[in-house]
Amino acid sequence: MAELPLKLRDLLVYRRKSTIHFSDFVNNLLEEPSTHLHTSSSIISSAIKFFGHEIVIRSGEPVISYNVFKDPFSNGINAVFGQEYCIKQILDIIESADKEVGPNRGIILVGPPASGKTYVVDLIIRALEEYTKQVSVRLYTFFFRFENEDGSRCVEVHSSFHHNPLLLFPTLMQKTDGNLSRPRQELFDHINQQQGEQTLLIPSFYQNANLDKKTLDILEELLSNPKNEGMSLFEILEKYVRVEEIAFSGAQAHGISNIDDMQHLRVRVNPQDLSAEDMGIVNEHLPGKSLRYYEGSIIGSNRGILHIHDAFGVNGERIRESDYKPLLMLLGSGRVSFESTQTAVDSTVILTTNIEEMELLDHQLTSSKLLDRIEKVPVNYLLDASSETDILRRDLANMREKYDVDPNLLRIASYYSVMTRLLPPMRKKFPSSWSQRKIELYLNITPEQKLFIYSAYAEDPVNTIKKLPHWHPFRNEAMRLGLNLNDEDSFQDQISNHPESVNLRDSGLFSEEDLRLIDDEFMRDLWKEHYPNEGRNGISIRQLQNVMRNTMASSDGLKVHVGIFLSQLNRIITEGPDLHHWLEIDTRYTRKRKPILDRSVGRYDLQEGEGDYGDFQGLVRVVRAIYFHIIRKEITVCTVDRDPRQIEADLRRYLQYALLARAQRNRAFAHVMVPRFTFIDPNSGTKVDEPDYNYMKSMERVMEPEMDEESFRQMIAQKFLDLQSSGELVLEGNRTIINSRNDNLLNCFAQEYSRALSHRKIEEEINPEVLHNAFFHKLNDQNHYKSIDPGVQKLVETIITNMNQRFGYSRSIALTTIVYALRKDIIHFKEILS
């Protein structure tokens, strides 16, 4: 045998765990009873929670995001993004079964194709496999060990059910005096006597479950064997039974079964295949007994999970009751039938199917018995563009390695896909506390506004959580995880914000009045209105990936630009629903409502009904306008080329001066208000109690050149005071605006900050038209470009470098994007340079 380095040998040091006698198992049970009473539901719940969690805020609603669904097993290859509500429902059903607060039901994940249903179940299975291998987890089963006379050879006989050794205690037994006893119940009574006041809840499965026929036959034969005459059941178990630790395995169908055909639910009984020598040993202990071996997905899933993939898809035909009859018994009585007997099975059943197959089952007259035993959990397409982008980024990673990809491509693709799935607000009843203006805003929310609300950045997640009503289910969920919502220190570090979440103020789609009305309750109600129907239609992630691949094929083989993607969308829509079925939408949500009003997205106007819900052609124009808004902002920031921190400091100084000016105007209270807004200049260290009107005018010419300076100043000061009094804006400690840093001021004044970012004051004379043409020359005529004024060339290179460093563009894509923006009149350097 070739010698291997010691470290390589260490990679494969696994050895079979040692077995213990039945008495040792009983002692362990008495010492730690709770660890020996796992049911399938409790172990699945523990496995999901074992890998940790985060808190995310979606549409004003906090929800737990379990880390196991990030796929820590395969570096995120099969990660599930944005399905926290679906996963919460699954976990709620599993935990209700564990607490035995209702009947044991199957879980059926229903959704359109490619919505991530199978990934969810696969990751639960992977979690089970890894969790049951942990040192801290103990799952036991048993087998029979038969030895020859001199002990030199033995035969092990295992049960396919992998029963818990607890079940070796009979539920009912006749004692030698003829009286009946209940050994298992007496064992549980003894355990609870040891617990004192802390009564242990014994799962009803363990109180009533029975062993399979083969195991019972072996025990009966051993008791009646003359070799064992006079031995009690305990002595038989001590002599012949060995207890071993097990771990679940999907590959071996140990505690986990994966099937795609209901025919595999039926149990197959096969003879045990033994050599002549081994059969001789067995016959010494079980004379004349023929051993059988049971196979089947239900048996393999005992103590774990049974996953039926595409449960009701049978070649497009309706499924027959005879196909799922074993499932009816499993979900109805928790048993499986074979050899004229029934054996208790503890299995959590999860089925996956698409909407069309589920609807076929719903309309079958004979399906009511099954429908009563399963609970539907919707798994729709994502409505959160940030999570959709995560999926594209993962699945198209190879594209991004091989091609020079526009950094906005995946985001714009996600924006479009989500908008195709949205449904219009049609609510009839509103909370009595809502104003008429808030109701009108709700009913007139446009697809692009809804897109950004669903992907919105939570400005104050701690406050969102603390203000939840007392009945909110998140409170109970947090309590189960040991989180105290009255103590923000216990959960603040677990709050996760997606780095690409959108600030509603920065989207340019909402007025200040709109933003004040869009609170957590507004966002929650908007999301709940069409649940679970929103996300059932529209383009799927697989179809979107096909569009992306076509985009690559239509590129020059090197660069992939957003403009090519938008052209591909227009081509697909022209081809129509005959080739692309997702272009069809259920008109019941659009036919009885007035078309959406004309509006502007960024600087681009849309006519009445254009870009409405379900108007896939119009939504291309909407997403194009959003893209134009994004690149206008990016190019402007890169042209201005100022440190954002300095611009923030300028904005804070302006606000401080505006409040001082307002305080001075209010002469009756100036003696109180002026000291309140007096500040220490961080640059000079001097006390400032007078506003600098020249400074304010220079800022006002940038932020709102068309508005009267005094009116704008008063409006901004009032906005600050309103935000502060409502609690939406909280400064750091007792600091002034100019000295506060750890606050949300930039979120509250995102529009003003954006305008300040879009202005460049340059010392040298740069002709905007020459700068405009320089980019075209750099792209198309390098010789001409080199002859341009060096100052202009320097500015061109600076802008491209900033695009590269600040927003992740390659220099080539940056140049292409700037030329595209100039050609489409998206930016005008004359407006930026002064």
Same domain, 425 and 367: no
Same domain, 194 and 252: yes
Q: 390: domain range?
A: 385-458+497-640
Q: Which helix (H) or strand (E) holds 389?
A: helix 385-395
Same domain, 213 and 151: yes
Give the separation between CA 590 and CA 612, rounded to whole angstroms: 9
Residue 20 has pLDDT above 70, yes or no: yes
Give the separation between CA 758 and CA 641, rounded to whole angstroms: 9
Residue 473: cis peptide before it, omega within 30 degrees of 0: no
Same domain, 735 and 798: no
**Could you tell me what percent of the chain has a pLDDT over 70?**
95
| Last residue in a domain, options 724, 757, 790 | 757
Same domain, 291 and 413: no
Same domain, 370 and 433: no
Residue 347 has pLDDT above 70, yes or no: yes
User: Are the CB atoms for 302 and 161 separated by under 8 Å?
Assistant: yes
Same domain, 774 and 740: no
Chain segment 122-138, per-residue pLDDT in tens: 999 999 999 999 888 88
What band does 318 get if pLDDT is binned at 50, 70 and 90? Answer: low
Residue 715 has pLDDT above 80, yes or no: yes
Q: Which residues contact 667 (CB under 8 A, 6 or more apart)?
A: none
Give the separation between CA 22 and CA 234, rounded to whole angstroms: 8
User: What would the mean pLDDT of 770-798 be, rounded to a whole number?
Assistant: 92
Q: Which residues contact 398 (CB under 8 A, 6 or more apart)?
A: none
User: What would the mean pLDDT of 306-331 be, rounded to a whole number?
Assistant: 80
Q: What is the per-residue pLDDT for 285?
A: 92
Give the separation between CA 432 and CA 1, rounded to whole angstroms: 82
For residue 325, tell me if it sits in a domain.
yes
403: phi then psi, degrees, rounded to nearest 5: -120, 160
What band does 320 get if pLDDT is binned at 50, 70 and 90? Answer: confident
Same domain, 218 and 318: yes
| Last residue in a domain, options 334, 361, 378 | 378
User: Are the CB atoms for 689 and 678 separated by under 8 Å?
Assistant: yes
Same domain, 236 and 290: yes
Residue 316 has pLDDT above 60, yes or no: no
Give the separation between CA 509 and CA 519, rounded to whole angstroms: 16
269: phi then psi, degrees, rounded to nearest 5: -110, 120
Weakest-pLDDT range from 15-24, 374-383, 409-418, 679-688: 679-688
Residue 326 has pLDDT above 60, yes or no: yes
Q: What is the per-residue pLDDT for 362?
A: 81
Residue 1 has pLDDT above 60, yes or no: no
User: Are the CB atoms for 67 and 84 separated by under 8 Å?
Assistant: no
Residue 730 has pLDDT above 60, yes or no: yes
For residue 224, tell me if it sits in a domain.
yes
Residue 544 has pLDDT above 80, yes or no: yes
Same domain, 423 and 540: yes
Weakest-pLDDT range from 327-331, 349-353, 545-549, 675-679: 675-679
When divided into structural domains, the chain yields a total of 4
Chain segment 590-647, per-residue pLDDT in tens: 777 888 989 999 888 999 989 999 999 999 999 999 999 999 989 988 888 777 778 8
DSSP helix/strand/coil, 671: helix
Residue 763 has pLDDT above 60, yes or no: no
Residue 451 has pLDDT above 60, yes or no: yes
Same domain, 232 and 293: yes
Q: What is the per-residue pLDDT for 21?
A: 95
For residue 701, tell me if it sits in a domain.
yes
**pTM score:** 0.86
Helix 811-823 and helix 790-807, axial crossing angle in degrees, nearest 10: 110
What band does 689 get if pLDDT is binned at 50, 70 and 90? Answer: confident
What is the residue whose two structure tokens read 């959960």?
A: 491
| Last residue in a domain, options 378, 410, 437 | 378
Instruction: Tell whether the torsion through CA atoms of 638, 644, 649 and 651 is positive or negative.
Output: positive
Look at residues 786, 400, 806, 466 and name the one whose alpha carbon lies nearest to residue 634: 806
Residue 421 has pLDDT above 70, yes or no: yes
Give the separation between CA 529 and CA 519, rounded to whole angstroms: 16
DSSP helix/strand/coil, 712: helix
User: What would the mean pLDDT of 100-111 be, rounded to a whole number?
Assistant: 80
What band does 103 get if pLDDT is binned at 50, 70 and 90? Answer: low
The pLDDT mean for the chain works out to 88
DSSP helix/strand/coil, 574: helix
Same domain, 328 and 183: yes
Q: What is the per-residue pLDDT for 834?
A: 61
For residue 671, tell me if it sits in a domain.
yes
Chain segment 264-312, per-residue pLDDT in tens: 899 999 988 888 898 999 898 998 777 889 999 999 999 999 999 988 8
Residue 7 has pLDDT above 80, yes or no: no
What band does 190 get if pLDDT is binned at 50, 70 and 90? Answer: very high
1 or 62, greater pLDDT: 62
